[in-house]
Structure formats: structure tokens, C-alpha cells
Amino acid sequence: MNNNKIFILRTKKSKTEPETTYCIAVFKLGTPYMEFILGETDNDREYRQGDQVFYVYDAEYTYDLNYAVEWLSKIK
């Protein structure tokens, strides 16, 4: 069951901090309680859309995909 897994939706490398990659991930996929997680990946590899991760650092949570996309687009 994928409900309790975290999947990467989108990543963006920081232009100001070379070791930082920001991401939007999804948790509880396919349930009424689905959440989007905004934060950073652990940078130990290049993540692609759909990859599973076990943790998102400095996480912020939202139910609003538009908010998540806007957040990522504003990150420098």
C-alpha cells in the first residue's frame, strides 16, 4: 500500500546554496488525507519525479497543490 510512503513530485536546486535541493513531495497518496510536503531532500542522489523518500528536511505541510507549486517557484 502506498498510503504511508512519501513520493517526490518536483525538485529544484538552490541557486544560492549549491548543496541544497528543495522539493515538493506527496504523503498519503490516493487518500482523502493526502498532504503535500515542502522542504529539502537529503542530497545524497539526484531525485526524479516519483522517487520514494523516507524524510523531507525542514518540512512544511499543505493540502493545497497551488500553494506548493507557488512556494517552489519562489525559492531561490
pLDDT in tens, 43-54: 778 899 999 999
Above 80 in pLDDT, residue 60?
Answer: yes
Q: What is each CA distance from 70 to 35, 37, 39, 54, 75, in whole angstroms?
A: 16, 13, 13, 24, 9
Q: Stretch 45-65: mean pLDDT, rounded?
A: 94
Q: Quick one: DSSP state of residue 69? A: H
Q: Which three cell numbers stand for residue 31?
A: 487518500
Q: What is the pTM of this model?
A: 0.89
Which band of pLDDT confidence, cut at 50, 70 and 90, is reported for residue 2? low
Q: What is the layout of strands, in order, in the sheet containing 57-62?
A: 52-53, 6-13, 21-27, 35-40, 57-62
Q: Binning pLDDT at 50, 70 and 90, where does residue 61 land?
A: very high
Q: What is the pLDDT of residue 53?
A: 94
What is the C-alpha separation between 10 and 72, in angstroms, rounded?
Answer: 9
